[in-house]
């Protein structure tokens, strides 16, 4: 069973974290690839990445894609998330855990950006 | 003449800022709506928002769309960017300056997210 863990930075502002959780719920309902979709956070908010991975496994995931919900390839994307995910992976050798490219690297980003600009009122 | 100013937070990491500038250059070349496209930053990096708007005007912009390159609707999106843009707008009553919805609010975001997840190797 495939799981998707959307990992955002985590904010002191609860609404920012809730937006990521809402997006995970929206994707749960609209996608046909991942049976399990959750939000996780690098810091500040819960669940942290290890707990998010654990939650996916508890719900029956056999493979997990961790998706960094970040616009830029900063140290969180390049160092922190891979380090944490690798540490957790060592505890679950039977689970296939992979990290997807971060959001900002998508070739669709310019299209998304233009669609936002065109929504100006 | 229409201009698009893509406003990111600004990072101490030069590469993160360069990614936004590169995206602006990419959009300059690929879009047919905005003759002028620049990156600007809320803080830390240059050009700051007022300088980015000034640059667009210096190049002949008569209308400017400011696009917040942010995933969440935090205080930067809700308070800081509108406050700064409104202050600058007061100095240029003849220029039509508007703020587009922030990137994370796009209805295409779930699609973008799924396309990133599917790029996992």
pLDDT tens figures, A68-98: 999 998 899 999 999 999 999 999 999 999 9
Predicted structure pTM score: 0.92
User: Has residue B25 got a pLDDT over 90?
Assistant: yes
Pairing status of strand A63-68 against strand A96-99: parallel
Minimum CA–CA partner of B70 in chain A: A71
Q: Do B114 and A69 touch (CB under 8 A)?
A: no
Q: Do B119 and A113 touch (CB under 8 A)?
A: no
CA–CA distance, A61 with B119 (Å, rounded to integer): 19
State the pLDDT at residue A45.
Answer: 96
Our CA-based measurement puts residue B69 at a distance from the nearest CA of chain A, in whole angstroms, of: 8
Residues of chain B with pLDDT > 70, as a percent, come to 100
State the pLDDT at residue B106.
Answer: 93
ipTM above 0.95, yes or no: no
User: Has residue B74 got a pLDDT over 90?
Assistant: no
State the pLDDT at residue A27.
Answer: 95
Average confidence score pLDDT of chain B: 96
Q: Do A100 and B117 touch (CB under 8 A)?
A: yes
Give pairs for B16-19: CB < 8 Å, separation 24+: B16/A72, B16/A73, B16/A74, B17/B41, B17/B45, B19/A72, B19/A73, B19/A104
Q: Do B30 and A101 touch (CB under 8 A)?
A: no
Mean pLDDT over B42-53 rounds to 97
Q: Do B19 and A65 touch (CB under 8 A)?
A: no
Best of B27, B70, B72, B98 to mutate (most A CBs within 10 Å, chain A)? B72
DSSP class of B80:
I
Mean pLDDT over B85-92 rounds to 97
State the pLDDT at residue B121.
Answer: 83
User: Has residue B39 got a pLDDT over 90?
Assistant: yes
Q: Give the neighbor-by-neighbor strand order of the sheet with A2-8.
A: A36-41, A2-8, A63-68, A96-99
Q: Closest partner residue to A98 among B74, B98, B120, by Cβ?
A: B120
CA–CA distance, A76 with B78 (Å, rounded to integer): 24
User: Has residue B97 got a pLDDT over 90?
Assistant: yes
Best of B4, B17, B116 to mutate (most A CBs within 10 Å, chain A)? B116
pLDDT tens figures, A18-71: 999 999 999 999 999 999 999 999 999 999 999 999 999 999 999 999 999 999
List chain A residues with CB under 8 Å of B100.
116-117, 119-120
**DSSP-based three-state secondary structure for B46:** coil
Interface of A with B in 59-118 (CB under 8 A): 65, 67, 69-75, 98-106, 108-118
CA dihedral in degrees (A121, B1, B6, B12; nearest 10)? -150
| Length, in residues, of chain B | 121
Interface of B with A in 35-64 (CB under 8 A): none
């Amino acid at each position: 069973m495939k799981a998707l863990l959307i990992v955002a930075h985590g904010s002191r502002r609860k609404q920012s974290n809730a937006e990521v959780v809402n997006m995970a719920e929206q994707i749960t309902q609209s996608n046909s690839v991942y049976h399990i979709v959750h939000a996780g956070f690098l810091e500040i908010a819960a669940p942290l990445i290890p707990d998010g991975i654990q939650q996916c496994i508890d719900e029956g995931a056999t493979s997990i894609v961790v998706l960094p919900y970040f616009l830029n390839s900063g140290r969180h994307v390049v160092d922190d998330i891979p380090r944490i995910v690798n540490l957790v992976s060592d505890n679950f050798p039977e689970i296939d855990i992979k990290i997807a490219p971060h959001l900002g690297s998508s070739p669709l980003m310019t299209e998304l950006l233009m669609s936002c600009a065109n929504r100006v009122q």
